Amino acid sequence: MHDALLIPQALVAAPAVGPLPDAVTMGPTSAWALLIVSALLVGLSKTALPGVTAIAVAIFAQVLPAKESTGVMLLLLLTGDLPAIWAYRRDTDATMLKRLVPAVACGVLIGALFLRVASDDLMRRVIGWLMIVLIVITLAQRARGRYRTGARSRATSAGASSRGGTGSASRAGSSPTARMVYGALAGFSTMVANAGGPVTSLYFLACRYPVKAFLGTTAWFFFLVNLTKLPFSIALGIIHVDALALVAVLIPAVLVGALAGRLLADRMPQRVFDPVVMVLTVVAALPLVA
């Protein structure tokens, strides 16, 4: 069996439990609890709250070696993609997905090359710093969006033209430059750390999609991107037979999370949950960069 699939002793406060097929039956309770919670979050992120994926990625990178956690997470993400694309099968912008292909493919290739030369310790730090950087970008983008919304409201109340509102943001989001920057960064971050969600969310928000179009386009985008990543991950040895036993155990938790997310999508106030997700993501990322 592959020695890299041992669960770290420092996390579980117990002797290493052996390769994954043995860990399925005799793993420490604390480690398994974290993995199951992470799998639930993966499902939830696919049908309701995309930002929650970052928490699951951080937990997996703490419980498993960084490269192996990336491989297991990819298989779980693909599992979560299936109910998401079914739930939002009629809500997607196929034209936008086609336009993003070149930039995302470039980012995935760069990420695959990085994975080939990166050490496990470097991978762990990259995952943590990617999350922190993406959170800062997200907060800055939202703050700027609130400022612009306030400015437009003041201009409208004064009788000024509001021509630069949604239209300018949509043009900025759909410009070739924006597609290249966001697409390449999303491809790289999702290949290296399965953390492309925040970048993609920022881009689709800049395009001013309605809620269902946003969720549908996001679901199909990540399903296609994750399928593209699969052969690279297998070729790099990130996904192999030893990981399949762990994935099989966690798939039901992913599906339960996806179902719960679908039920909560129209009920949970985003303005309350978003700040909580941001704080928890920072807390989860900090140990990785230490």
Q: Residues, the chain, total?
A: 290
Mean pLDDT across 35-49 = 90
Q: Is residue 17 a contact partner of residue 1, using CB atoms and an 8 Å limit?
A: no
Q: What are the tens digits of pLDDT across the range 137-193? A: 767 766 776 666 665 555 555 444 434 333 334 544 567 887 888 888 888 878 877
What's residue 112's pLDDT? 86
| pTM > 0.75: yes or no | no
Q: What are the tens digits of pLDDT across the range 123-142? A: 767 777 877 777 777 677 66
What's residue 13's pLDDT? 36
Residue 72 has pLDDT above 80, yes or no: yes
One-letter amino acid at 49 equals: L
What's residue 16's pLDDT? 35
Alpha-carbon distance of 28 to 7, in angstroms, equals 9
Alpha-carbon distance of 148 to 151, in angstroms, equals 5
